[in-house]
Structure formats: structure tokens, C-alpha cells
Structure 1
């Protein structure tokens, strides 16, 4: 058994290159090692701890346990940078096309010169990136590790090339900000309309929701197949502050009875009361608004899909009346405004609680604890570390550019940046590790019974992926832990669990005393970093890029009656055109980068060797092969399901699930 889990590569000229970190050849548990080997383990962990340190003092997320910095092992691969720049340059192309299109009042000569200069700069960057991509031909052409070395791209060259790509990415970001500032200056001359919002997709295809978002069934479907399937909850009685009448219910669900539906378990609620911490902000002298609505849905008798029943635009029923679906001219625009209010709240809940807090920040805490407490020859180190690839880097970038003062969250979300940050902090520190396990979460929210809620694509596909990961974790752990006593005897595992709970401030995390519990824990970690993040990240491009459908802030106060509104008032709730383009661009980037699918375990530096080296794992009939075969079977089942679904749900197809939270 060796304590070296990295491979030294020697180029043809005899130069020794940087080592490539990999899983151990012969992983071991500390209790099975000699005294000398345990000392070596402790020395290696102590050295790693110097590179991975905790802080709760990051100003953007005060109180959240994060890494103090991003060690070199956690920086992205060159492949990832090529993906990001490809998307970033496409975004610049689209923004320039928008600015040169007559949907704007027209740019003055100075602005046109800036746009022209930006276009030239972007073209020069594109040419430079293409040259590097050609140099690293194995990235595009799929050559294996040996072919990569034969092509003359030694690992030693990658640092400088990655630095160049990172510099280009910074320049693309700067160009983007300059172009958005031009739009802000033209804002007063821009007339908002649904057509104008659609026209912001000049060189990109507008998502389907840009044409269907007003449909009530589409509105209901988003609760179970949209960016945020994590809030809808089955209820047996209405909240006291949401007095939907039997008549209102019957009007929305013809032929049904409210009390019977409640008794049957067919009534569901989205309650956004947790957004009460948000404080409405201001953008360029214009007031923004945040909302805490309540939305009721139901499955009709014998039906399968949710139907919208009622919306209350605030928590106080004496101030905000119950609004219901209607086609009556005097009431229909009030209903459209109410749906928009819900979508603004859903966007905030999704981004702050579900996406940032529930995936990115949860994975970071476990990543840091893993590095600080498990030796790199521990079997769980090999199992888990690939699922943290790029996470510390992307989180650090988000803190600096996304949820910071002046960043996108500050601009197109309704809350002040401080209150948005504190909402994310609350979401992270209240995240209960065991409660959020998929089977537990479904039961807790009373949405696990397919006979009550037949059409819930996230639930059904998530359980398939969860079970495949669970089988992989179980087979893997059984190889290294002979019984439950081996689990309780593992001193590194005990320290790791304590660190996640105490230093990582992970609510509900507890000591691990059995193999079954350890399997559940590892399944949750892998699922959160991969599938859960995919399910809440990639809908951003398909659903959230079109601001009239969903956006982060309102631009008028929540309505206090359903009648008396018109179309222009409804459009007035939507963001300024420059902010909708900022939203579109930001979420296209976040929702377009697919890097390294689940089950593909490789190192993150050329020559991209296989991560696992233990023959017990990598054998033809071993756990890894079975996991990969299981994922292919899940893929086939989801594809078959999507052929039967009225609306395909693709976010949890394993081929579209990255291994880690890396964007």
C-alpha cells in the first residue's frame, strides 16, 4: 500500500512534469495501517490543511463556512476554460447584435464607436482562443492521454495557457460590462414590450417559454419541472392567512370540491414566506420590489398535472386578496400580474435558497472538510474529490462577480444586495443535510406519492439518479468497510463528520455509525454536487433567460385587487431592457457550460488519466463499470419517459449531469 496517489509524467526530453493527482492505487482505512503509515497519513493531512483553511468572514456571505482561497488543485482544467469562453464570446456577439438592432432608439456616434471597438476586441480574443484550442487538439478531437502527449502539449505548458484563457475571460467580461453600460444610458429611450424582450435573442434562439409563459398550465408545470421544484408542498388544510373559498376553488377546478381535494392529498402550496428577510432595493433611482406571495395548485380528480387555483400576492390576507384564473377582461391582467409576482418570488427562492445555498455552498463545506480530514489514500477521498472539481473556484468567482455589490444579483434582483446575501446565508445555515436527501425531502413535503401528484418529472427522474448513485456508493463502500465496526473504528471518518457538522455548520449532520448510513451520506454528497445542481442550474438557460417569464425583481408594488389592470401595467412590472439583457446573458452563461458528465472520472489536467486506480473498483465487473452501466440505463428510461411526456424534462439525463458543481 502506497501513500503516493499522484503520477509523475516525464516528457520525451526527460523533463519531469507536474504530478497529476489521482485516486489511490490501494486505498486503506487508518485502523488497518501500521503506526508508521498512520504517522504518514497525519503528516499528509497536516500539509493539506495548510492549503485548505476555513473562514466565515467573506463579506458577501457573512457567517457561511468557506475556503479562504482556491488551491491549485481546485482550479479548472483547460477544457473548462474553452467551454466558458465559447459561451462568453457567443454572448458578446448577441449583445452587440442587440445594440445594433432598431429595437433601440439608436446609438449616438460615440456609443457606436465603443460597440465597434468591442466587436474588434472580441474577434481578436476569439482568434487567440481558437489558436490555443487547435494547439490542444485533443480537447476537441477526443484523443486519449498518450495522443495528447504525442501531440506535443505537455502538462508543463498548461499553466501558461490556462492563465492566458483566464485573462481572455476577464477581457470578455469587461467588454460585456461596457456594452451593458451603453444600454443603461439608452434606457429612457427604450420602450418595453414582449416583442422587444424576445428581440434580445438576436443571435441566439429564444427559449420556448418566451411564447408559452402566459399559459396557466405552463405556470403550474414550472412548480414540478422548472428551476425550483424544491418548494411545492402537499397540504391537508389551507393556511389561516390564505382564505381560498370553496367557490373560488370550484371555479378553478370544475367538478371538484375543495375539502375533498384536501382530504385526498391533491392540493399543493408554494409559500414564499421565507423571503421576508429581503428588503426592496433601488436601481438608478427607480424603486424595485420584492414579494412574499402564496400560490395554490391542485390535481383534478382523475388528472395527472397540476392546475393553478389561486394566488395571494402577500402574506397578509387583509391587505392582499385571493386572485384566481380568469379570462374576463376586467380581471385577467390582475391574474397575469399575480403570476408575475409569484415568478419573481420563485426566482429569488431558487437562486438564493435552492441554487446558491443548497448546492454550491453545501458542496464547498464538504469539500473543505474532506481535504482537511481524509488522507489522500482514504477510500472516501478517492470517491468524493472528483465531485468537488472546480467548486471552490466557481464559488469564489460568484462571491466576487455575481452576488457582490454592483453584480447581477444586485441589479436585476429586487432586494438590496445586503438582504439578498443574508437570504442566501440563511438558506445555507438552515440547510438540513438528512432532511434534504431526495426520499426524505419528498416525504417531508408530501409530494412523494405518485398517485396524488402523478406528473412530477423532477421527483421521478431524481429518484432514478439517486438510486443509481446509491448503488454505486454501496458497492464502493462495501469493498473497504467489512462491517459497521469498520465504520466506527475509522478515526479519519469520525473527524470528517465532526468537521462537516461543527466547522462546516451543516445542520443535521451527525456521527456515522454504520455502512448503511455512510452510503446514504455519500449518495447525498455526490447527488448534491452533480444531479441536484444540474436540476436547478440548467433550467436557467431554458426558462430564466426570458425576463417576462421569470426575473429577480418587480418594478411596481404588488396589486391589492384583481380588477382594473391592463396590459401596459403588467409590462410595467418587468425589468428595464438593459437589465433583462444582463439577466439573459448571465443565465445563458450559467446554463450552457456542461463539463465532464456524471460517471466520467478523470484527472483535471492533461493527459486526463482515469481517476480510479484500484483494480477492485475499475475491473470489468467492478463497481465503476456497474455505475456507468446503471447511468446508461437511467438515461434510456428518462428518454423513454420524455417520449410519453407532453413536455420533455431533460435536466436529469445522466449525460447532461456534470460530475461536479463547476459552473
Structure 2
């Protein structure tokens, strides 16, 4: 007799244990073991966090182990079991790992495969026998029944076909300890911040009144109270401009070489703001003029869910000047965009009276807040990442190296988005309570943003070039760009290492049917509402193209989301700096605004409280957060990938140290793209 010692590892999550019968079969290249009922005499059999050893005796050596089959049969009732992995020590002393990391529920048979040391392409095609191909086919067909596409709203990226979190497949639901209830979180945040007494919908009397709900919380990373720094400096022009580079929405600013047709700014208006002795035309040609253009908000219906409070939106132009001191300063703001210049196209200037200029900047920041929430944050990180996640589950078998590479970066993403559709951005949802783009505005903005969304705009280096902000000499102190490029290159290097382990040539990429199906599902299903020229590839022909594609997926879910999410409280807590809504129409003439008009424009007490609770809740890291490059689930068993992962973590550590060293010299540190603070996935 020959003995194979099998170790069965159960997860540590709540309810991971099982009392059902578990059967196991070892499959080798020569023969199979008998279907074996795992011994229930073991104390705490399959308890949470347990590792159960089981000896399986066979009359003949099985050959090289290739599969482990697991079957779970209910006794009195069916429960769920989370199997981390199976490890098998052979009679010769070799240890073979079979990663699982999944909930086993109603499946009659779960097949685990180890591809250690074998290029995946050959397993997929040449060396795979018909049985292995059949197992993969059955696995994917089963997943495709669970992960179905659905159009939640017309024109949106496709999402999971589930109306509530409880309808999601078990493997992508929040663990019990990490459930998310937006209503509870917001209300808890409001209570913890002491805002309950301010929920009545009445206006504040003065800017200083916002201090009554302002909570000074020190940033645990930098040791600096960023939100207090914002409160002290928000109305200064240099700080207004700085936020376009390193605030919570650092993706709008672009180089302006020619003024938009509907922008009525002239040389005479701005000549007092230009400090190089050049004309506006000359500054444009020299590359010193930048613009923030909120055209996407033109024609969008403002939130009308509260019949007692009228709310307003604008679609401003904001012209920015990189002066000789490398300060980004606002030099002209236009709040409307009539067809021809006239009264409606008033251009507000720094030389105007303080209330006109203050309110004009508030309108820009309110518009910026709306674009951040719906386009930069919701669409371009949350919804895009969900598309990649669903396509991955539908088209890539668990043994596929790209599945193993991506799965840490889609953790909880579908669940958080489903929860958001249930409570946050749904009709009469929590988003409506404080935001000017609530109600139908949510749908209108996403639909418009989808019409201009392109694949290349999600590639970080390409996005920088497209906006003309990639040159450090032209635009220094753009830490979002600088840190983002370092993280992008680190991720790309890691992805390249993994891809070259499994794909020996471009031809192997082309012949990988699962990878091609993955790209096709994203292009033709998940992103089907994008325009035809969106450039999402429907096939991947080279290793280089595959590397860029996977880098984009990982970077979007980790770094990009971190950059635009975790600074929300820092930058939005001081409400005059980023009003979530405006309750008076934008001024069309100068000299008619006073402080009373400004206070009647800004969010009232109730909306201010809901806003503060929201940005606080959304800025919190989760318990036991997994940061970029930290992969406790060992999906990869190959030593070559393990070494590549170590190299990745080393490079991320080097980036972290560079950022830390720079931040020590800054009055206001920028840490949102420090790898040690970037979660692996979109999970909040």
C-alpha cells in the first residue's frame, strides 16, 4: 500500500466551517484513488481556520498528481464551506499544492488543478486531454450562469445581474465581518461626527458657521490635519489651483493651446494676471495656460427630488495660468456657455469684487465635485472594474494564470457596486440627499461620460499625454502624475514578468481561447454602450498588448481608485471648498452678489451634514485591508511567480520610500498613491 497524506485547509471567515460530508478523489496521470469520505472522527472537523490531515491509501502509485476532486453532500441541511486549499504529500515526499479559495455550496463536484512548473498555454491546448478541457468547459458554463450581464441603466457599463447583495454568488459576497450598509454607515458617521443636531434644512448665516460641523481629524499617515489646512487656505487662488494637480479630482486639468469657442475671455481681461510680459495668445503658444472644462454638465438636470429646495448646476470654464513661480492660478471663470458672447457669458476675474470671485470659484469646485463623484470615481474606477471582474469570472478558468493574477484586484468590487445600486445611487437613494447631480442627473452624467470614454484614457501614461500634462518641466509639483507613473511602471513590470512566464511568444497569446474570450466579453458585452471608437480591444494579439491590458485592469482597481477615493474627507470636509450642491442659480452679472447670496447658495445644514457623513464613510479603510502586492491567498504555486511577486513588492517598497522622502519636505504631503496605502481592489 502507498500513502498520500492530504491536508485540507478551511478558511478563517465567519461560517466557513461545514458539517456536511466531504469526499475527495486524487487523480494522477496513471490512475485515480477511490472516492474517499474524509474522516469525521477528527476533532473540530472542518472548523474555521482548521487544517485537517487525512491519509489516503492506494495499492499502486497514481503517477504525477494532476487533479483533486472535491464533493460535498448535505446531511440534514446544506451549508457553505470555504476551502482555502488542498496540499498532498506523495509517497515519495513531494508536496503538491492545489489552490481553491472558494465557497463550495451546491456543486456536486469541484475540480482543483495544479499547473506548477508548466506553461499554461500547453496545459490549455497541447498537453490537455479531453477530460481537462471538459472540466474547464463545465466550470466556465457554471460560472456564466451565475455571472450574468445586466444593463442597470441605459447607457451605463454593464453590471452583474443581481438586485441585491444576497443574490450574488457566494464567492463575491462580502464576508460577514465586512458587510456594507450605506444607510447604516452614513447615519453612524453623522452620529460619530456629532452632526445629528444639524440635520434640519436651514441655511447657515456665515462661512464661519461651517466650523460648527467641521471635525478636525489628524491624518494617521502624514500626521497632518489636511482638512484643517484646506479650511485655512481654501479661498486663496494658489490653493484653488493646487487642487487641480493634487486634490481629490486631479484628472480634469489639461493644457490649453486654443480657447474654446464659447469661452468669452479676452487678452484685456487677463493681462493683469500674466506675469511674464507675454500676451494671452503668446502664453497659450508657450504652453503656460491650462483649462478645466466642465462641458459634461451642460444641460444636465439638477437634483429635483426635494420639492421644497430648488437646486442648480452649471458647466463652467476655468482658465488656469502656470506663472513664473510655478503656481497654478485661476485667471478667468465663465459659469455658462451661451452660443454667442453676451450677458449670459460673463467672465469672472480675480480683479472682481471678493464676493463675485469667491462665488465663481465655489461654482467651479461644486461642478468639480459632481464630476469627481460620478465620472472620475463611480464610472472610471467602480463601474469599469466591475466589467473586468464579471468578464474574468465568465471567461477564465480558476487555473488560468490571468485569473490568478487578477482575482485579488476584483475582491469585493461587484459586492460594493451592488450595495451602491441598492442604497446609494438608486432612485431616492442616499446620493440624492446632498448632491446637485442626484436624481436623473446621475444617469445623464454617466451616459454623457460613456460617450467619450476610451480604452487609452484608462492607460495612465496615455491619459497624461492626452491632457498635455506629462512633462515634469512644464508642470512641476504634479505629485498625482509623478507617483502614478511610478506605480504604473511597477505594476507593468510585475505583469510583464508573469505574462512571460506563461506565454513564450505572441502566438501563444493569440491561441489562448480564454484570454480572447475575456477581451471579447469586455468589449462586446461589458462596454457595449461605449461608442465604436472607444478602442477597447476585442482581441489581444501580442504579449505587449496583454501586459498593457492587465496593467490597466490592476492599476484602475488599485492605484486610480485610491487616488480619487481616500482623500474625500481631506478635500471635501470643508464644505465651502467643494459644495455638493448649489441652491441659487449661478450669477450672470457682476456686482450683484453678497455674503447673504453666497450662504443661500451653499448647502444648507441638513445637506451639509449628509455630505460630511458621506465623505467620511467613503474615505475609511476597511478592517484587515489588503494593500497593493499583498496576496495572502496563494493562488500561484509556481516558484517563478513567487519570485516575481517578491520583486514586485520590493519595487513597491522603493516607490513608497521615494514618496515618503519627498513628503517630508512638503508643507502639504501627497500620499494617496503611496503603495503602502493603496488597497488591491475597489472595495469601498
Same fold (TM over 0.5): yes
Of the candidates 588, 598, 611, which is equivalent to residue 628 of structure 2? Answer: 598
Partner residue in 1 for 2:214: 201
Q: Report which stretch shifted further, 523-532 or 214-223.
A: 214-223
Please give the alpha-carbon distance, in whole angstroms, between the structure 2 residues aligned to 1:471 and 1:6: 34
Q: Report which stretch shifted further, 245-254 or 371-380.
A: 245-254
RMSD: 2.6
Please give the alpha-carbon distance, in whole angstroms, between the structure 1 residues aligned to 2:136 and 2:448: 36
The answer to whether 1:37 aligns with 2:109 is no
Please give the alpha-carbon distance, in whole angstroms, between the structure 1 residues aligned to 2:327 and 2:437: 33
Q: Is residue 362–residue 428 contact of structure 1 (8 Å, CA) maintained in 2?
A: no
Of the candidates 64, 67, 74, which is equivalent to residue 160 of structure 2? Answer: 67
Please give the alpha-carbon distance, in whole angstroms, between the structure 1 residues aligned to 2:654 and 2:101: 27
Of the candidates 289, 298, 306, which is equivalent to residue 312 of structure 2? Answer: 289
Q: Deviations along 1:342-393, whole A, 9 cap, x unmatched?
A: 0111011111111101010000011101110111101000001110001011
**Which residues in structure 2 correspond to 1:11-160 (within 5 Å)?**
12-15=43-46, 17-20=81-84, 21-22=100-101, 25-26=114-115, 28-29=120-121, 30-32=124-126, 33-56=128-151, 58-59=152-153, 63-69=156-162, 70-78=168-176, 80-81=178-179, 91-95=189-193, 97-99=194-196
Partner residue in 1 for 2:486: 464
Q: Is residue 274–residue 323 contact of structure 2 (8 Å, CA) maintained in 1?
A: yes
The answer to whether 1:449 aligns with 2:480 is no
Partner residue in 2 for 1:222: 243
Q: Deviations along 1:157-177, whole A, 9 cap, x unmatched?
A: xxxxxxxxxxxxxxxxxxxxx
Report the TM-score when normalising by structure 1: 0.80
Please give the alpha-carbon distance, in whole angstroms, between the structure 2 residues aligned to 1:513 and 1:272: 37
Residue 393 to residue 359, structure 1, CA distance change in 2 (3 Å)? same
Partner residue in 2 for 1:617: 641
Partner residue in 1 for 2:552: 524
Q: CA deviation at 1:83?
A: 12
Residue 270 to residue 5, structure 1, CA distance change in 2 (3 Å)? farther
Q: CA deviation at 1:560?
A: 1.2
Please give the alpha-carbon distance, in whole angstroms, between the structure 2 residues aligned to 1:617 and 1:378: 13
Partner residue in 1 for 2:606: 578
Q: Report which stretch shifted further, 286-295 or 417-426.
A: 417-426
Residue 395 to residue 41, structure 1, CA distance change in 2 (3 Å)? same
Structure index of larger Rg? 2
SS in 2 for 1:295: strand
Q: Is residue 182–residue 420 contact of structure 2 (8 Å, CA) maintained in 1?
A: no
Q: CA deviation at 1:563?
A: 2.3
Q: Is residue 435–residue 581 contact of structure 2 (8 Å, CA) maintained in 1?
A: yes
Please give the alpha-carbon distance, in whole angstroms, between the structure 2 residues aligned to 1:650 and 1:566: 38
**Which residues in structure 2 correspond to 1:278-317 (within 5 Å)?**
278-282=300-304, 283-301=306-324, 303-316=325-338, 317=341
Of the candidates 221, 233, 242, which is equivalent to residue 254 of structure 2? Answer: 233
User: Which residues of structure 1 form unaligned runs of 5+?
Assistant: 105-182, 604-609
Q: Is residue 10–residue 46 contact of structure 2 (8 Å, CA) maintained in 1?
A: no
Report the TM-score when normalising by structure 2: 0.77
Partner residue in 2 for 1:658: 679
SS in 2 for 1:278: coil
Q: Report which stretch shifted further, 16-25 or 307-316.
A: 16-25
Which structure has the highest helix share of the two? 1
Please give the alpha-carbon distance, in whole angstroms, between the structure 2 residues aligned to 1:336 and 1:285: 26
Q: Report which stretch shifted further, 353-362 or 201-210.
A: 201-210
Q: CA deviation at 1:81?
A: 4.7
User: Which residues of structure 2 form unaligned runs of 5+?
Assistant: 1-5, 12-16, 18-41, 48-80, 85-99, 103-112, 163-167, 219-226
The answer to whether 1:473 aligns with 2:495 is yes
Q: Is residue 353–residue 427 contact of structure 1 (8 Å, CA) maintained in 2?
A: yes
Residue 92 to residue 347, structure 1, CA distance change in 2 (3 Å)? closer
Q: CA deviation at 1:84?
A: 9.4
Partner residue in 1 for 2:357: 335
The answer to whether 1:431 aligns with 2:453 is yes
Which structure has the highest strand share of the two? 2
Q: CA deviation at 1:397?
A: 0.9
SS in 2 for 1:612: coil
Please give the alpha-carbon distance, in whole angstroms, between the structure 2 residues aligned to 1:444 and 1:560: 33
Please give the alpha-carbon distance, in whole angstroms, between the structure 1 residues aligned to 2:362 and 2:553: 34
SS in 1 for 2:208: helix
SS in 1 for 2:292: strand
Partner residue in 1 for 2:535: 508
Please give the alpha-carbon distance, in whole angstroms, between the structure 1 residues aligned to 2:425 and 2:115: 42
Q: CA deviation at 1:416?
A: 5.0
Q: Is residue 277–residue 419 contact of structure 1 (8 Å, CA) maintained in 2?
A: no
